[in-house]
A and B are shown apart, each in its own frame.
Chain A
């Protein structure tokens, strides 16, 4: 079989290679399938490879032969297990959907199919996207490709790990509180949380309906831009999809850093050091750095852990064992529900469903849920004010630590802290990108996170491409 240099492959260079005839889409897909076969037994990143992957590749071969191939023709990718691909299992990392076959393609899958990309499999995840390590998957944890004792992050840990292991050229994840950006940082990848409303959620198994977006994992910023522009767009099937993009503010290379958040407990010194070095690099590249304040940012996690479980408890009520999914048969209806959900849902899922039920229940709704919505409004205003003051990019580390050891964060609350820098974007509906920024002394990747104004992903891509360049 042809040897393809996967490590240095980008979407553009792969396309050019296939145009030249260096290799065919079928050879590229075969190469990735071989990587998955070799590495997945130890990583547990991929839950299933799709039977029709080779057939999709053959169609792409013909497109090149007939001279009608476009940039994404024949480009192999893997999706998170909560994105529907017609006919394939979509189990959201859960037992309750272990035999659920998607009845339709998600909008993003339709768009990528139309663009000629080849979807080759589905990736492991924390159950129903609840987690920051992929340890909550009911199919076993995914291991970090650089250190099997460590986590790749979560909840899109499988999507991150398999891409870092060169098992695809890009992957898709979902992000509700950081579930693309955090694993991207842990695994040395680019991960994008698009502006809420820019990418259709149709066909993504819902977690937090006011927070969720589907987004790409890629090995470089240009690839993230290519995928984003392919999957974004108005869709009537997502009620919150945005039809009119606001006018673009010109990019002035002004970065705001909320230094006060970096003094919160639990942030590693090495992360702070790497962040400072990243700032210095950007300064040398011509960026202006300003101190900014996000006065309510430290409350983001508390707000998130009220709103998200509330929405989860509603969204997961459809997993009742009645019309689809695993049913635990019982004598009466109530026990059917109780048993199906007791056995079909793992501990973290049940915890969040109950927490959500609590904060929405009579007598507590005002104190918790309504209160959280008001603080969410204050958080959003903090971001609005900063962007209105002339700052284009808000920069922080993506995560407070590098990839941690599996089993280390056994207490739920300590796991929730992993999202301290990422939840703000989901709450305020601003886009965020995590970009690799180096490695620690153990070789584990660092990531920096850039946030921009809503629908200003181009500012993120410009900053990212600048940061990727070596200093002159």
Chain B
């Protein structure tokens, strides 16, 4: 892992890092990836991927009116104008 790899990841993950942090991260990655690479020693040709007995639930989209929840959501907004969430421009 070099600094450029870390930079690409940082942008993908939307996480800002200083140059010092990028260097430190690159070194830490080396060490962590070195450890998790031991999985390559395992023969998994006949193994099935398992992430729990996952059950997919679907719910019907029902419109519900809940003003108290609306209040709490509005209170949490970092920046708002006239009851609308205010965000920086997306297209420059």
- Chain B residues with CB below 8 A from A441, complex form: none
Say which residue of B14, B38, B49, B73 sits within 8 Å of A338 (CB atoms): B14
- Chain A residues with CB below 8 A from B15, complex form: 338, 341-342, 345, 350, 353-354
- Chain A residues with CB below 8 A from B73, complex form: 103, 323
- Chain B residues with CB below 8 A from A306, complex form: 36, 39
**Min distance, Cβ A303 to any Cβ of chain B, angstroms:** 7
B81 at interface, CB cutoff 8 A: no
- Separation of A197 and B57 alpha carbons in the complex (Å): 14
Known contacts: A323-B77, A351-B28, A375-B47. The answer to whether A361 contacts B12 by CB under 8 A is yes
- Chain B residues with CB below 8 A from A80, complex form: none
A355 at interface, CB cutoff 8 A: yes
- Chain B residues with CB below 8 A from A351, complex form: 25, 28
- Decide: B39 and A347 in contact? CB cutoff 8 A: no
- Decide: B89 and A333 in contact? CB cutoff 8 A: yes
- Chain A residues with CB below 8 A from B67, complex form: none
Known contacts: A210-B52, A305-B32, A413-B31. The answer to whether A325 contacts B39 by CB under 8 A is no
Return the chain A residue nearest B24 by Cβ: A347
- Decide: A323 and B10 in contact? CB cutoff 8 A: no
- Separation of A364 and B33 alpha carbons in the complex (Å): 12
Of listed A302, A368, A416, residue having the most chain B CB within 10 A: A302
- Decide: B32 and A353 in contact? CB cutoff 8 A: no
B83 at interface, CB cutoff 8 A: no
- Decide: B76 and A375 in contact? CB cutoff 8 A: no
Say which residue of A236, A301, A329, A350 sits within 8 Å of B17 (CB atoms): A350
Q: Residue-by-residue, is A332-360 near B (CB-CB < 8 Å gives 1, otherwise 0)?
A: 11111111011101010011011111100
Q: Residue-by-residue, is A371-389 near B (CB-CB < 8 Å gives 1, otherwise 0)?
A: 1111111101000000000
Known contacts: A320-B14, A323-B85. The answer to whether A412 contacts B76 by CB under 8 A is no
- Chain B residues with CB below 8 A from A299, complex form: 38-39, 42
- Decide: B54 and A355 in contact? CB cutoff 8 A: no
B92 at interface, CB cutoff 8 A: yes
A370 at interface, CB cutoff 8 A: yes
- Separation of A402 and B27 alpha carbons in the complex (Å): 29
- Decide: B44 and A378 in contact? CB cutoff 8 A: yes
A411 at interface, CB cutoff 8 A: yes
- Decide: B47 and A333 in contact? CB cutoff 8 A: no
- Decide: B35 and A327 in contact? CB cutoff 8 A: no
- Decide: A103 and B29 in contact? CB cutoff 8 A: no
Return the chain A residue nearest B18 by Cβ: A342
- Separation of A345 and B14 alpha carbons in the complex (Å): 11
- Decide: B49 and A374 in contact? CB cutoff 8 A: yes
Main secondary structure, interface of A, reads helix
- Decide: B39 and A375 in contact? CB cutoff 8 A: yes
Known contacts: A210-B52, A354-B25. The answer to whether A302 contacts B36 by CB under 8 A is yes
A-B contact count (CB 8 A): 158
- Decide: B88 and A332 in contact? CB cutoff 8 A: yes
- Decide: A355 and B32 in contact? CB cutoff 8 A: yes
A322 at interface, CB cutoff 8 A: yes
A9 at interface, CB cutoff 8 A: no
Instruction: Tell me how many residues of B have a C-beta within 8 Å of chain A.
Output: 48
Scan residues 1-53 of chain B and give those whose CB is less than 8 A from a CB of chain A: 6, 9-17, 21, 25, 28-29, 31-32, 35-36, 38-40, 42, 44, 47-53
- Chain B residues with CB below 8 A from A335, complex form: 88
- Decide: B88 and A373 in contact? CB cutoff 8 A: no
- Chain A residues with CB below 8 A from B16, complex form: 338-339, 341-343
- Separation of A335 and B14 alpha carbons in the complex (Å): 8
- Decide: A336 and B88 in contact? CB cutoff 8 A: yes
- Separation of A47 and B73 alpha carbons in the complex (Å): 24
Return the chain A residue nearest B79 by Cβ: A327
A109 at interface, CB cutoff 8 A: no
- Decide: B90 and A305 in contact? CB cutoff 8 A: no
**Min distance, Cβ B68 to any Cβ of chain A, angstroms:** 9
Known contacts: A303-B39, A324-B77, A375-B44. The answer to whether A354 contacts B13 by CB under 8 A is yes
B55 at interface, CB cutoff 8 A: yes
Say which residue of A103, A345, A377, A416 sits within 8 Å of B76 (CB atoms): A103
Interface contacts beyond A333-B89, A357-B13: sample of 17 additional A-B pairs, CB < 8 Å, sorted by A: A101-B75, A101-B76, A103-B69, A210-B54, A240-B55, A301-B35, A317-B14, A320-B14, A341-B13, A351-B28, A353-B13, A353-B15, A354-B29, A361-B9, A370-B49, A376-B51, A429-B52
The 10 nearest A-B residue pairs measured at CB: A342-B16, A377-B50, A373-B49, A103-B72, A327-B78, A338-B16, A337-B14, A374-B44, A374-B47, A324-B76
The 19 listed contacts between A and B (C-beta, < 8 Å) are A103-B72, A103-B76, A299-B42, A320-B14, A323-B78, A332-B88, A336-B87, A338-B11, A338-B14, A338-B15, A338-B16, A354-B10, A357-B9, A358-B29, A368-B36, A370-B49, A377-B50, A378-B42, A412-B28
- Using a CB–CB cutoff of 8 Å, the interface residues on chain B facing chain A are 6, 9-17, 21, 25, 28-29, 31-32, 35-36, 38-40, 42, 44, 47-57, 69, 72-73, 75-79, 85, 87-90, 92
- Using a CB–CB cutoff of 8 Å, the interface residues on chain A facing chain B are 100-101, 103-104, 196-197, 210, 236, 239-240, 296, 299, 301-303, 305-307, 313, 317, 320-327, 329-339, 341-343, 345, 347, 350-351, 353-358, 361, 368, 370-378, 380, 411-413, 416, 429
